[in-house]
């Protein structure tokens, strides 16, 4: 039988116990496969994702220095193993996106950046970032502050460095305080001031978003190119815009207008109920009548959109 299979250039022979059943995802030994055709070692160059994990792997082999594509392989994957490779490849694959910075704010581990592209698709990305402020004063006081910061928390990193005093145009020795949890940035500045009000602080009252833009050489609504992994973690960000340009491309923003129906006929000295009208991208909605003295509820209504 083996000779006949080899003569016909078939892949191999499968032997099964007569009373065996197929058991998905298990190797019970009731079935045995004997490969006869030629074999070769292959390089796994990647995989094709599917709805339940890995759909197939991409294999090839080296011919000299060139890696040649051979095929996509699905054999051997069962439901129990399709999701397993994702654990080992998490964060390994990078996508490049271009768009405008729509929003930027701190989170517990860095910054959150919202990107909008030309198709009005929105992407939520995150970036590791530790904003820093600087403290100037008597060197002995700064050493005491450094020791206190180390004993107080693990959220701070301190380092003696030099910065240029813009007023004196001269270098100044300062203590750099990096905050590993950006949402607490201003709170730690207040902690330093409360501990010793004679120390001079720099940058402690700036917004984290502004510090991030300064470090990354970007600005609000700038057109940027971002490389991010499959978890949305930014690997690199490059500005493709000019903040001094007079003619620039605007992001595809949506405009919402809100008004009360019959606004021209309303007497502001007398309360009345009126419908709330909303228009966005040429589409209009009319909400149930609201009292003029209850317009504080508008933010609650807008959350429905």
Residue 278 has pLDDT above 70, yes or no: yes
pLDDT higher than 60, residue 304: no
- Above 90 in pLDDT, residue 159? yes
Q: What is the pLDDT of residue 144?
A: 94
Angle formed at CA 195 by CA 190 and CA 201, multiple of 5 degrees: 50
Indicate the range of 2-11, 62-71, 171-180 predicted with least confidence.
2-11
pLDDT at 75 over 80: no
pLDDT over threshold 70, residue 300: no
Helix axes 139-152, 185-195, angle to 10 degrees: 130
Higher pLDDT, 236 or 75: 236
Q: What letters, b where the CB count within 10 A reaches 16 and e where it falls short, cover 274-294?
A: bebbbeeeeeeeeeeebeeee
Lowest mean pLDDT among 103-107, 255-259, 268-272: 268-272
Residue with tokens 């000019």: 242
- Higher-pLDDT residue of 106 and 281 is 106
User: Is the entire prediction scored with pTM above 0.75?
Assistant: no
Q: Please answer whether residues 258 and 249 qualify as being in contact, where contact means their C-beta atoms are separated by less than 8 angstroms.
A: no
Which tens digit of pLDDT belongs to each residue from 5-20?
777 877 788 888 888 8
Closest by Cα among 38, 107, 99 to 70: 38
pLDDT of residue 28: 73
Q: What is the pLDDT of residue 305?
A: 47
What tokens does 102 get?
A: 């729509």
What are 80-132's pLDDT values in tens digits? 777 776 666 666 677 899 999 999 999 999 999 999 999 999 999 999 999 99
Dihedral over alpha carbons 152, 156, 159, 161 (to 10 degrees)? -120
H or E element in which residue 211 lies: helix 208-216
Query: How confident is the model at residue 41, as a pLDDT?
Result: 85
Residue in 86, 110, 264 with CA at minimum distance from that of residue 182: 110
Mean pLDDT over the full length of the chain: 84
């Amino acid at each position: 039988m083996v000779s006949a299979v080899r003569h016909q250039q078939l892949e191999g022979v499968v032997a099964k116990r007569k009373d065996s059943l197929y058991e998905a995802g298990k190797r019970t030994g009731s079935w045995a496969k004997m490969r006869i055709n030629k074999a070769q070692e292959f390089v796994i160059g990647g995989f094709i994702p599917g709805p339940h994990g890995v759909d197939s792997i991409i294999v090839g082999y080296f011919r000299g220095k060139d890696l040649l594509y051979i095929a996509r392989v699905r054999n051997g994957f069962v439901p129990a193993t399709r999701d397993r490779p994702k654990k080992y490849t998490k964060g390994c694959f990078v996508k490049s996106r271009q768009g405008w910075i729509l929003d930027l704010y701190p989170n517990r581990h860095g910054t959150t950046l919202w990107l909008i592209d030309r198709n009005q698709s929105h992407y939520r990305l995150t970036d590791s970032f530790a904003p820093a402020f600087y403290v100037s004063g008597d060197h002995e006081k700064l050493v005491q502050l450094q020791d206190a910061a180390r004993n107080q928390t693990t959220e701070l990193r301190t380092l003696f460095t030099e910065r240029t005093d813009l007023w004196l145009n001269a270098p100044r020795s300062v203590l750099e305080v990096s905050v590993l949890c950006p949402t607490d940035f201003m709170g730690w500045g207040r902690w330093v001031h409360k501990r010793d009000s004679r120390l001079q602080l720099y940058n402690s009252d700036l917004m984290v978003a502004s510090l991030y833009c300064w470090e990354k050489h970007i600005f609000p609504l700038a057109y940027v190119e971002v490389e991010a992994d499959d978890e949305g973690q930014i690997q690199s960000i490059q500005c493709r815009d000019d903040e001094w340009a007079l003619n620039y491309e605007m992001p595809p923003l949506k405009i919402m207008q809100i008004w009360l129906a019959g606004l021209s006929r309303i007497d502001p000295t007398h309360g009345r109920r009126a419908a709330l009208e909303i228009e966005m991208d040429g589409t209009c909605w009319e909400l149930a009548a609201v009292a003029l003295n209850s317009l504080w509820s508008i933010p609650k209504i807008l959350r429905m959109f």
